[in-house]
Structure 1
Amino acid sequence: MLKIGITGGIGSGKSIVCRCFQLLGVPVYDSDARAKWVMNYDPELREGLISTFGPETFDAHGQLNRTYLAQKVFHDKEELTKLNALVHPQVRQDFHQWLEAHSTAPYILKEAALMFESNAYTQVDHVLTVSAPVALRQRRTLSRDPHRTAQDIEAIMHKQLSEEERLERSQFVLYNDDQQLVLPQVVKLHKAFLTLATEQAATT
Protein backbone atom coordinates (compact mmCIF):
# COMPACT_ATOMS: atom_id res chain seq x y z
CA MET A 1 0.00 0.00 0.00
CA LEU A 2 1.25 3.46 -0.90
CA LYS A 3 1.34 5.87 2.05
CA ILE A 4 1.18 9.61 1.38
CA GLY A 5 1.78 12.13 4.14
CA ILE A 6 -0.12 15.41 3.92
CA THR A 7 0.99 18.46 5.84
CA GLY A 8 0.97 22.25 5.83
CA GLY A 9 1.25 25.16 8.19
CA ILE A 10 -1.63 26.33 10.36
CA GLY A 11 -4.36 27.84 8.18
CA SER A 12 -3.14 26.19 4.99
CA GLY A 13 -6.37 24.25 4.53
CA LYS A 14 -5.18 20.66 5.03
CA SER A 15 -8.57 19.54 6.33
CA ILE A 16 -10.42 20.81 3.26
CA VAL A 17 -7.96 19.09 0.95
CA CYS A 18 -8.24 15.86 2.93
CA ARG A 19 -12.02 16.04 2.65
CA CYS A 20 -11.70 16.27 -1.14
CA PHE A 21 -9.56 13.14 -1.19
CA GLN A 22 -12.05 11.37 1.08
CA LEU A 23 -14.83 12.16 -1.40
CA LEU A 24 -12.74 10.26 -3.95
CA GLY A 25 -12.74 7.27 -1.60
CA VAL A 26 -9.26 7.73 -0.16
CA PRO A 27 -8.86 6.76 3.53
CA VAL A 28 -7.37 9.59 5.60
CA TYR A 29 -5.67 9.15 8.97
CA ASP A 30 -5.94 12.38 10.99
CA SER A 31 -2.90 12.24 13.29
CA ASP A 32 -3.97 15.13 15.50
CA ALA A 33 -7.49 13.79 16.05
CA ARG A 34 -6.22 10.27 16.67
CA ALA A 35 -3.59 11.56 19.12
CA LYS A 36 -6.37 13.23 21.14
CA TRP A 37 -8.40 10.00 21.08
CA VAL A 38 -5.45 7.88 22.18
CA MET A 39 -4.59 10.32 24.97
CA ASN A 40 -8.16 10.06 26.23
CA TYR A 41 -8.71 6.33 25.95
CA ASP A 42 -5.39 4.47 26.08
CA PRO A 43 -5.04 3.37 29.75
CA GLU A 44 -1.25 3.12 29.66
CA LEU A 45 -0.88 6.55 28.10
CA ARG A 46 -3.37 8.13 30.50
CA GLU A 47 -1.37 6.75 33.42
CA GLY A 48 1.84 8.11 31.94
CA LEU A 49 0.34 11.56 31.36
CA ILE A 50 -1.00 11.79 34.91
CA SER A 51 2.30 10.60 36.34
CA THR A 52 4.27 13.15 34.31
CA PHE A 53 1.99 16.20 34.28
CA GLY A 54 -0.28 15.69 37.29
CA PRO A 55 -3.94 14.71 37.85
CA GLU A 56 -5.07 18.04 36.34
CA THR A 57 -4.20 16.56 32.92
CA PHE A 58 -7.75 15.18 32.91
CA ASP A 59 -10.87 17.06 33.97
CA ALA A 60 -13.59 15.98 36.40
CA HIS A 61 -15.29 14.01 33.60
CA GLY A 62 -12.11 12.08 32.81
CA GLN A 63 -11.49 13.90 29.56
CA LEU A 64 -8.16 15.35 28.48
CA ASN A 65 -7.68 18.89 29.79
CA ARG A 66 -6.13 20.25 26.62
CA THR A 67 -5.91 23.82 27.91
CA TYR A 68 -3.96 22.76 31.00
CA LEU A 69 -1.64 20.50 29.02
CA ALA A 70 -1.01 23.16 26.37
CA GLN A 71 -0.05 25.66 29.07
CA LYS A 72 2.37 23.12 30.53
CA VAL A 73 4.24 22.35 27.31
CA PHE A 74 3.82 25.25 24.87
CA HIS A 75 6.65 27.39 26.23
CA ASP A 76 8.68 24.61 27.83
CA LYS A 77 10.76 22.55 25.42
CA GLU A 78 11.68 19.97 28.03
CA GLU A 79 8.04 19.36 28.97
CA LEU A 80 7.07 19.16 25.31
CA THR A 81 9.77 16.53 24.75
CA LYS A 82 8.31 14.50 27.62
CA LEU A 83 4.82 14.75 26.13
CA ASN A 84 6.00 13.69 22.67
CA ALA A 85 7.93 10.76 24.13
CA LEU A 86 4.70 9.50 25.71
CA VAL A 87 2.28 10.21 22.88
CA HIS A 88 4.17 9.52 19.64
CA PRO A 89 4.83 5.79 20.21
CA GLN A 90 1.16 5.18 21.00
CA VAL A 91 0.02 7.13 17.93
CA ARG A 92 2.45 5.15 15.75
CA GLN A 93 0.93 1.94 17.07
CA ASP A 94 -2.58 3.29 16.44
CA PHE A 95 -1.57 4.19 12.86
CA HIS A 96 -0.28 0.67 12.19
CA GLN A 97 -3.57 -0.80 13.43
CA TRP A 98 -5.48 1.65 11.24
CA LEU A 99 -3.38 0.65 8.23
CA GLU A 100 -4.33 -2.99 8.72
CA ALA A 101 -8.00 -2.01 8.68
CA HIS A 102 -7.52 -0.19 5.34
CA SER A 103 -5.13 -2.65 3.72
CA THR A 104 -7.22 -3.03 0.55
CA ALA A 105 -6.93 0.66 -0.40
CA PRO A 106 -4.49 1.48 -3.23
CA TYR A 107 -3.15 4.35 -1.15
CA ILE A 108 -3.91 6.27 2.02
CA LEU A 109 -3.22 9.75 3.33
CA LYS A 110 -1.72 10.46 6.73
CA GLU A 111 -2.47 14.03 7.80
CA ALA A 112 -0.06 15.59 10.29
CA ALA A 113 0.58 19.27 10.97
CA LEU A 114 4.08 18.48 12.28
CA MET A 115 4.96 15.89 9.64
CA PHE A 116 8.67 16.66 9.61
CA GLU A 117 9.02 18.06 13.13
CA SER A 118 7.66 14.82 14.66
CA ASN A 119 9.47 12.54 12.18
CA ALA A 120 6.07 11.22 11.01
CA TYR A 121 7.42 11.53 7.46
CA THR A 122 9.47 8.36 8.12
CA GLN A 123 6.20 6.38 8.14
CA VAL A 124 5.12 7.41 4.63
CA ASP A 125 6.45 7.02 1.09
CA HIS A 126 5.95 10.60 -0.09
CA VAL A 127 4.85 13.91 1.43
CA LEU A 128 2.31 16.36 0.00
CA THR A 129 2.37 19.91 1.33
CA VAL A 130 -0.68 22.16 1.18
CA SER A 131 0.80 25.60 0.60
CA ALA A 132 -0.61 29.08 1.17
CA PRO A 133 0.98 32.49 1.84
CA VAL A 134 1.63 33.29 5.50
CA ALA A 135 -0.64 36.35 5.54
CA LEU A 136 -3.54 34.34 4.10
CA ARG A 137 -2.99 31.55 6.61
CA GLN A 138 -3.04 34.09 9.44
CA ARG A 139 -6.34 35.59 8.20
CA ARG A 140 -7.93 32.17 7.83
CA THR A 141 -6.90 31.10 11.31
CA LEU A 142 -8.13 34.31 12.93
CA SER A 143 -11.46 33.88 11.16
CA ARG A 144 -11.71 30.18 12.05
CA ASP A 145 -10.45 30.48 15.64
CA PRO A 146 -11.70 33.82 17.00
CA HIS A 147 -10.36 32.92 20.47
CA ARG A 148 -6.81 33.11 19.11
CA THR A 149 -4.87 36.34 18.80
CA ALA A 150 -2.43 37.28 16.04
CA GLN A 151 0.34 36.73 18.59
CA ASP A 152 -0.96 33.21 19.32
CA ILE A 153 -0.86 32.34 15.63
CA GLU A 154 2.61 33.78 15.19
CA ALA A 155 3.83 31.68 18.13
CA ILE A 156 2.38 28.52 16.57
CA MET A 157 3.92 29.33 13.20
CA HIS A 158 7.25 29.92 14.87
CA LYS A 159 7.19 26.34 16.17
CA GLN A 160 6.48 24.95 12.70
CA LEU A 161 8.88 24.67 9.79
CA SER A 162 9.07 27.62 7.44
CA GLU A 163 7.04 27.30 4.23
CA GLU A 164 10.28 27.20 2.25
CA GLU A 165 11.74 24.29 4.21
CA ARG A 166 8.46 22.38 4.19
CA LEU A 167 8.21 22.67 0.41
CA GLU A 168 11.86 21.74 -0.05
CA ARG A 169 11.34 18.51 1.89
CA SER A 170 8.09 17.52 0.15
CA GLN A 171 7.68 15.57 -3.07
CA PHE A 172 4.29 17.04 -3.96
CA VAL A 173 2.58 20.39 -3.42
CA LEU A 174 -1.00 21.64 -3.66
CA TYR A 175 -1.57 25.39 -3.70
CA ASN A 176 -4.52 26.56 -1.62
CA ASP A 177 -3.77 30.23 -2.15
CA ASP A 178 -7.20 31.49 -3.29
CA GLN A 179 -5.68 31.88 -6.76
CA GLN A 180 -5.78 28.27 -7.99
CA LEU A 181 -8.72 25.87 -7.80
CA VAL A 182 -8.17 23.11 -5.29
CA LEU A 183 -10.32 20.32 -6.75
CA PRO A 184 -8.52 20.02 -10.13
CA GLN A 185 -5.22 19.78 -8.24
CA VAL A 186 -6.66 17.05 -6.00
CA VAL A 187 -7.89 15.06 -9.01
CA LYS A 188 -4.50 15.35 -10.73
CA LEU A 189 -2.69 14.23 -7.59
CA HIS A 190 -5.17 11.39 -7.06
CA LYS A 191 -4.36 10.02 -10.52
CA ALA A 192 -0.63 10.38 -9.86
CA PHE A 193 -0.91 8.56 -6.54
CA LEU A 194 -2.93 5.73 -8.11
CA THR A 195 -0.21 5.34 -10.73
CA LEU A 196 2.49 5.26 -8.04
CA ALA A 197 0.47 2.72 -6.06
CA THR A 198 0.18 0.48 -9.13
CA GLU A 199 3.91 0.75 -9.78
CA GLN A 200 4.68 -0.03 -6.13
CA ALA A 201 2.40 -3.07 -6.16
CA ALA A 202 4.10 -4.37 -9.31
CA THR A 203 7.52 -4.34 -7.64
CA THR A 204 6.47 -6.08 -4.39
Structure 2
Amino acid sequence: MTHNLIPFIGVTGGIGSGKSMICRIFSCLGIPIFEADKEAKIILNENEIVKKSIKELLGNQAYKENEVYNPTWVRAKIKEDPRLIAAINSIVHPAVRQKAIEWQLSQKNKPFLIYESALLHSENKPELINKLIVIKADKADRIKRINMRDSLHPTDIKTIMEVQPSEETYLKQVDYIIKNSNNDLIWPQVEKIYKSITGLT
Protein backbone atom coordinates (compact mmCIF):
# COMPACT_ATOMS: atom_id res chain seq x y z
CA MET A 1 0.00 0.00 0.00
CA THR A 2 1.23 3.49 -0.80
CA HIS A 3 2.39 5.14 2.44
CA ASN A 4 0.59 8.44 1.89
CA LEU A 5 -2.84 6.82 1.68
CA ILE A 6 -5.17 7.43 4.62
CA PRO A 7 -5.68 4.04 6.34
CA PHE A 8 -8.92 2.14 5.89
CA ILE A 9 -10.56 0.58 8.97
CA GLY A 10 -13.08 -2.14 8.16
CA VAL A 11 -16.46 -2.22 9.92
CA THR A 12 -18.34 -5.47 9.53
CA GLY A 13 -21.04 -7.65 11.06
CA GLY A 14 -24.09 -9.60 10.01
CA ILE A 15 -27.37 -8.12 8.83
CA GLY A 16 -29.10 -6.24 11.64
CA SER A 17 -25.96 -5.98 13.78
CA GLY A 18 -26.00 -2.18 13.61
CA LYS A 19 -23.26 -1.31 11.12
CA SER A 20 -25.06 1.80 9.88
CA MET A 21 -25.52 3.16 13.40
CA ILE A 22 -21.86 2.57 14.27
CA CYS A 23 -20.79 4.27 11.05
CA ARG A 24 -23.03 7.26 11.81
CA ILE A 25 -21.17 7.70 15.10
CA PHE A 26 -17.81 7.55 13.33
CA SER A 27 -19.19 10.10 10.86
CA CYS A 28 -20.14 12.39 13.77
CA LEU A 29 -16.49 12.12 14.85
CA GLY A 30 -15.44 13.38 11.43
CA ILE A 31 -14.54 10.08 9.78
CA PRO A 32 -15.61 9.55 6.13
CA ILE A 33 -17.47 6.30 5.38
CA PHE A 34 -17.16 4.13 2.27
CA GLU A 35 -20.32 1.98 2.15
CA ALA A 36 -19.14 -1.04 0.18
CA ASP A 37 -22.50 -2.82 0.13
CA LYS A 38 -24.29 0.25 -1.26
CA GLU A 39 -21.53 0.64 -3.83
CA ALA A 40 -22.00 -3.01 -4.80
CA LYS A 41 -25.70 -2.38 -5.48
CA ILE A 42 -24.83 0.56 -7.73
CA ILE A 43 -22.27 -1.54 -9.59
CA LEU A 44 -24.74 -4.41 -10.04
CA ASN A 45 -27.15 -1.99 -11.70
CA GLU A 46 -24.82 0.30 -13.63
CA ASN A 47 -21.60 -1.56 -14.49
CA GLU A 48 -22.28 -3.23 -17.84
CA ILE A 49 -19.33 -5.62 -17.55
CA VAL A 50 -20.54 -6.81 -14.15
CA LYS A 51 -24.13 -7.13 -15.37
CA LYS A 52 -23.02 -9.24 -18.32
CA SER A 53 -21.00 -11.54 -16.04
CA ILE A 54 -23.89 -11.92 -13.58
CA LYS A 55 -26.27 -12.84 -16.40
CA GLU A 56 -23.77 -15.37 -17.73
CA LEU A 57 -23.52 -16.89 -14.25
CA LEU A 58 -27.18 -16.84 -13.20
CA GLY A 59 -29.23 -16.19 -16.32
CA ASN A 60 -31.11 -13.14 -17.57
CA GLN A 61 -33.64 -13.43 -14.73
CA ALA A 62 -31.02 -11.99 -12.39
CA TYR A 63 -32.29 -8.68 -13.81
CA LYS A 64 -35.86 -7.50 -14.19
CA GLU A 65 -37.31 -6.35 -17.51
CA ASN A 66 -36.18 -2.79 -16.75
CA GLU A 67 -32.60 -4.06 -16.25
CA VAL A 68 -32.74 -3.53 -12.48
CA TYR A 69 -30.97 -6.19 -10.40
CA ASN A 70 -33.42 -8.73 -8.93
CA PRO A 71 -32.14 -9.60 -5.42
CA THR A 72 -35.19 -11.68 -4.48
CA TRP A 73 -34.70 -14.00 -7.45
CA VAL A 74 -30.95 -14.17 -6.83
CA ARG A 75 -31.45 -15.04 -3.15
CA ALA A 76 -33.67 -17.93 -4.23
CA LYS A 77 -30.93 -19.18 -6.55
CA ILE A 78 -28.34 -18.90 -3.78
CA LYS A 79 -30.61 -20.87 -1.45
CA GLU A 80 -30.66 -23.66 -4.06
CA ASP A 81 -26.88 -23.51 -4.47
CA PRO A 82 -24.98 -21.60 -1.73
CA ARG A 83 -21.75 -21.89 -3.77
CA LEU A 84 -23.12 -19.15 -6.03
CA ILE A 85 -22.42 -16.50 -3.41
CA ALA A 86 -18.67 -16.94 -3.86
CA ALA A 87 -19.02 -16.75 -7.64
CA ILE A 88 -21.11 -13.57 -7.41
CA ASN A 89 -18.63 -12.00 -5.00
CA SER A 90 -15.75 -12.81 -7.34
CA ILE A 91 -17.50 -10.72 -10.00
CA VAL A 92 -18.62 -7.80 -7.84
CA HIS A 93 -15.87 -7.40 -5.23
CA PRO A 94 -13.01 -6.39 -7.57
CA ALA A 95 -15.15 -3.56 -8.96
CA VAL A 96 -16.10 -2.44 -5.44
CA ARG A 97 -12.49 -2.45 -4.31
CA GLN A 98 -11.43 -0.40 -7.31
CA LYS A 99 -14.07 2.19 -6.37
CA ALA A 100 -12.80 2.09 -2.78
CA ILE A 101 -9.24 2.80 -3.87
CA GLU A 102 -10.37 5.71 -6.05
CA TRP A 103 -12.40 7.10 -3.14
CA GLN A 104 -9.50 6.58 -0.73
CA LEU A 105 -7.19 8.55 -3.02
CA SER A 106 -9.66 11.46 -3.01
CA GLN A 107 -9.71 11.82 0.79
CA LYS A 108 -7.53 14.38 2.55
CA ASN A 109 -6.59 15.35 6.12
CA LYS A 110 -8.41 12.56 7.97
CA PRO A 111 -6.86 10.24 10.60
CA PHE A 112 -8.52 7.20 9.02
CA LEU A 113 -11.41 6.10 6.81
CA ILE A 114 -14.16 3.53 7.37
CA TYR A 115 -14.85 0.69 4.92
CA GLU A 116 -18.28 -0.73 5.79
CA SER A 117 -19.23 -4.18 4.47
CA ALA A 118 -21.41 -7.01 5.75
CA LEU A 119 -19.27 -9.74 4.17
CA LEU A 120 -15.87 -8.55 5.38
CA HIS A 121 -13.85 -10.73 7.76
CA SER A 122 -10.22 -11.51 8.55
CA GLU A 123 -9.95 -14.29 5.97
CA ASN A 124 -11.15 -12.25 2.99
CA LYS A 125 -10.25 -8.66 3.84
CA PRO A 126 -8.42 -6.89 1.01
CA GLU A 127 -4.95 -5.42 1.54
CA LEU A 128 -6.39 -1.92 1.68
CA ILE A 129 -7.96 -2.70 5.10
CA ASN A 130 -5.54 -1.89 7.94
CA LYS A 131 -7.65 -2.94 10.92
CA LEU A 132 -11.00 -4.64 11.42
CA ILE A 133 -13.92 -3.77 13.69
CA VAL A 134 -16.65 -6.39 14.16
CA ILE A 135 -20.10 -5.55 15.51
CA LYS A 136 -21.55 -8.33 17.65
CA ALA A 137 -25.27 -8.51 18.47
CA ASP A 138 -27.68 -11.18 19.67
CA LYS A 139 -29.56 -12.90 16.86
CA ALA A 140 -32.96 -11.99 18.34
CA ASP A 141 -32.01 -8.30 18.46
CA ARG A 142 -30.74 -8.45 14.89
CA ILE A 143 -33.99 -9.99 13.62
CA LYS A 144 -36.03 -7.38 15.51
CA ARG A 145 -34.05 -4.56 13.89
CA ILE A 146 -34.43 -6.08 10.43
CA ASN A 147 -38.20 -6.37 10.90
CA MET A 148 -38.40 -2.72 11.98
CA ARG A 149 -36.24 -1.51 9.08
CA ASP A 150 -37.07 -3.74 6.11
CA SER A 151 -40.14 -5.46 4.71
CA LEU A 152 -38.38 -8.78 4.28
CA HIS A 153 -40.12 -12.13 4.59
CA PRO A 154 -38.77 -14.25 7.48
CA THR A 155 -37.53 -16.77 4.91
CA ASP A 156 -35.50 -14.05 3.18
CA ILE A 157 -34.00 -12.96 6.51
CA LYS A 158 -33.04 -16.57 7.25
CA THR A 159 -31.48 -16.97 3.79
CA ILE A 160 -29.42 -13.79 4.14
CA MET A 161 -28.16 -14.83 7.58
CA GLU A 162 -27.25 -18.29 6.31
CA VAL A 163 -25.14 -17.00 3.40
CA GLN A 164 -23.33 -14.41 5.51
CA PRO A 165 -20.25 -15.44 7.51
CA SER A 166 -20.82 -17.19 10.84
CA GLU A 167 -20.24 -15.32 14.10
CA GLU A 168 -17.14 -17.47 14.65
CA THR A 169 -15.76 -16.33 11.28
CA TYR A 170 -16.55 -12.67 11.99
CA LEU A 171 -14.79 -12.77 15.37
CA LYS A 172 -11.64 -14.52 14.16
CA GLN A 173 -8.49 -12.36 14.34
CA VAL A 174 -10.25 -9.00 14.65
CA ASP A 175 -8.76 -5.84 16.10
CA TYR A 176 -11.86 -4.47 17.82
CA ILE A 177 -15.29 -5.78 18.85
CA ILE A 178 -18.31 -3.55 19.44
CA LYS A 179 -21.13 -5.15 21.42
CA ASN A 180 -24.48 -3.92 20.14
CA SER A 181 -27.22 -5.99 21.72
CA ASN A 182 -30.28 -4.46 23.36
CA ASN A 183 -28.70 -2.92 26.48
CA ASP A 184 -25.21 -2.14 25.18
CA LEU A 185 -24.00 1.47 25.04
CA ILE A 186 -22.29 1.91 21.69
CA TRP A 187 -21.08 5.53 21.65
CA PRO A 188 -18.45 4.98 24.39
CA GLN A 189 -17.21 1.87 22.58
CA VAL A 190 -16.85 3.73 19.28
CA GLU A 191 -15.16 6.68 20.97
CA LYS A 192 -12.67 4.35 22.68
CA ILE A 193 -11.79 2.74 19.33
CA TYR A 194 -11.47 6.16 17.70
CA LYS A 195 -9.01 7.25 20.40
CA SER A 196 -7.08 3.98 20.11
CA ILE A 197 -6.68 4.30 16.33
CA THR A 198 -5.75 7.98 16.44
CA GLY A 199 -3.35 7.52 19.36
CA LEU A 200 -5.33 9.70 21.75
CA THR A 201 -5.22 7.12 24.56
TM-score (norm 1): 0.84
2:145 aligned residue? 140
Where do residues 52-201 of structure 1 align in structure 2 (5 Å cutoff)?
Answer: 52-116=57-121, 119-120=124-125, 122-149=127-154, 151-195=155-199
* Percent identical residues: 32
On the 8 A contact 1:131/1:176 being kept in 2, the answer is yes
1:31 corresponds, among 29, 36, 48, to 36
How many residue pairs end up in the alignment? Answer: 195
On the 8 A contact 1:74/1:80 being kept in 2, the answer is no
User: What amino acid is the match of 2:173?
Assistant: R
Q: Quick one: distance in 2 between partners of 1:148 and 1:125?
A: 36
Q: Quick one: distance in 1 between partners of 2:17 and 2:52?
A: 34
Query: Where in structure 2 are there 5+ consecutive unaligned residues?
Result: 1-5
Change (3 A) 1:161 1:49: closer
CA shift, 1:128, in A, is 0.5
On the 8 A contact 1:117/1:161 being kept in 2, the answer is no
User: What amino acid is the match of 1:181?
Assistant: L
Q: Quick one: distance in 2 between partners of 1:137 and 1:154?
A: 11
Q: Quick one: distance in 2 between partners of 1:67 and 1:93?
A: 26
Q: Over the residues paired in the alignment, what is the CA RMSD in angstroms?
A: 2.3
CA shift, 1:117, in A, is 7.9
Bigger shift: residues 8-17 or 154-163: 154-163
Change (3 A) 1:25 1:179: same
Which has the larger helix fraction?
Answer: 1
